[in-house]
């Protein structure tokens, strides 16, 4: 164990046993055999990977060749029909971190560091030029930046309830998006549950990247008492997620679609919430995203047996992306 501390301790992460025990019970029941390899990745932060999403608005000479020298390759197959040409994302199987760029007022950043699975909700949303888009829970802004790599929306409304995180979101947008495109973006600090009533039938696409139990970070909670409290309050998250989804449905125009995503494996916050929406909103239909999942199956490992409108990315060694749940729904009337 001492050796472990020396070699792995530089990441200064300690597993919170109370969370691990809770996950052990819940995820063994929900994921079966798949849980042990997921647990192996989640509890081994030294093998976590990251990807770089290049900023199409800031071209840095030499960046792509320097990435190639360090073993980075395009993270998605170029031939995917829903992948816009401007969308460039790099990853490598080896762990380690490419340096993050500091925020410098007036200077655009060249890339955004992220978990490659967080791009799947954005790809599933399939934003087209000129569409009105709402990112309901937007801070720190990684998916908002990714949406703008794919298309240029008509209106783009980024909302974040938390004051501090909302400032972080504004800073991200400033760091990645140039004039005059930045003027299309509206940042608000509303409770996402109210937006459906405030702007009914206004949007073509809504992303609900919901607050959830963040399995990766919860496992390394510094305070076990606080971790226990959060585990006990987990049920309230499902109810908040359902209300955010209902608001998103209201905010959609008939014919519009929404993508729901979380970074937890928990069924109560994933399929159960989506099933509740499908069972309680008559004007909502599931949208098949299995084609997209097949298209990226080299890069990601998915839980088998999911329905066609949903997917769950399971981290595994060498493809340590996720956890990420994605579901797509359409408002029919
Ligand atoms: N989409 C973001 C990204 O890609 O960078 C990450 C979003 S994070 C998973 C969920 C966010 O929802 C948090 O920033 C949280 O503060 C925010 N949130 C929590 N409750 C909310 C509410 N009622 N309305 C809107 N946002 C909320």
Average per-residue pLDDT in the chain? 93
Residue 151 pLDDT exceeds 70: yes
**Could you read off the pLDDT of 242-272 as tens digits, one per residue?**
999 999 999 999 999 999 999 999 999 999 9
Which string of DSSP letters, residue by residue, matches 277-312? HHHH-TTEEE---HHHHHHTTTT--B-TT--TTEEE
Span 197-229, pLDDT tens digits: 999 999 999 999 999 999 999 999 999 999 999
Strands 73-74 and 203-209: unpaired
Question: What pLDDT shows up at residue 79?
Answer: 63
Residue 78: what pLDDT? 67
Q: Other CB atoms closer than 10 Å to residue 44's CB: what's the count?
A: 17
CB of 139 closer than 6 angstroms to any ligand 1 atom: yes
The complex scores an ipTM of 1.00
Which atom of ligand 1 is the closest one to the Cα of 191?
24
Q: Which residues are catalytic?
A: 263
Residue 138 has pLDDT above 90, yes or no: yes
Tell me the per-residue pLDDT of 282-307, one tens digit each, with 9 for 90 and over: 999 999 999 999 999 999 999 999 99
With a 6 Å cutoff on the Cβ, whether 209 touches ligand 1 is yes
Assess contact for 201 and 230: CB atoms under 8 A: no
What pTM did the predictor assign? 0.95
User: Is 38 in contact with 316 (CB distance < 8 Å)?
Assistant: yes
Distance CA(97)–CA(49), nearest Å, equals 8
């Amino acid at each position: 164990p001492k050796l472990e501390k020396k070699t792995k301790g530089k990441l200064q992460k300690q597993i919170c046993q109370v969370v691990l025990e809770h996950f052990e019970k819940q995820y063994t029941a929900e994921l079966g055999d798949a849980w042990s390899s997921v647990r192996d990745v989640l509890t081994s932060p030294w093998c976590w990977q990251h990807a770089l999403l290049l900023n199409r608005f800031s071209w840095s000479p030499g960046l792509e060749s320097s990435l190639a020298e360090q073993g980075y390759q395009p993270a998605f197959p170029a031939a995917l029909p829903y992948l816009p040409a401007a969308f460039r994302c790099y990853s490598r199987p080896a762990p380690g971190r490419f340096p993050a760029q500091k925020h410098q007022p007036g200077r655009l950043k060249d890339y955004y560091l992220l978990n490659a699975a967080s791009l799947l909700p954005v790809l599933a949303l399939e934003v087209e030029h000129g569409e009105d888009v709402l990112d309901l829970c937007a801070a720190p802004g990684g998916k908002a930046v990714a949406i703008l790599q794919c298309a240029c929306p008509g209106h783009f409304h980024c909302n974040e309830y938390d004051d501090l995180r909302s400032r972080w979101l504004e800073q991200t947008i400033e760091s990645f998006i140039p004039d005059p495109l930045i003027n299309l973006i509206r940042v608000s600090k509303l409770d996402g549950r109210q937006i459906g009533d405030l702007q009914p039938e206004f949007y073509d696409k809504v992303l609900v990247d919901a607050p959830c139990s963040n399995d990766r970070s919860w496992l390394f909670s510094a305070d076990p008492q606080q971790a226990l409290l959060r585990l006990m309050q987990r049920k309230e998250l499902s109810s908040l997620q359902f209300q955010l989804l209902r608001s998103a449905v209201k905010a959609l125009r008939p014919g519009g679609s929404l993508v729901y995503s979380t970074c937890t494996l928990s069924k109560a916050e994933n399929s159960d919430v989506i099933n509740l929406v499908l069972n309680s909103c008559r004007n909502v239909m599931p949208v098949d995203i299995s084609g997209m999942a097949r298209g990226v199956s080299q890069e990601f490992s998915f839980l088998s047996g999911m329905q066609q409108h949903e997917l769950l990315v399971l981290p595994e060694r060498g493809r340590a992306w996720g956890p990420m749940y994605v579901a797509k729904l359409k408002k029919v009337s």
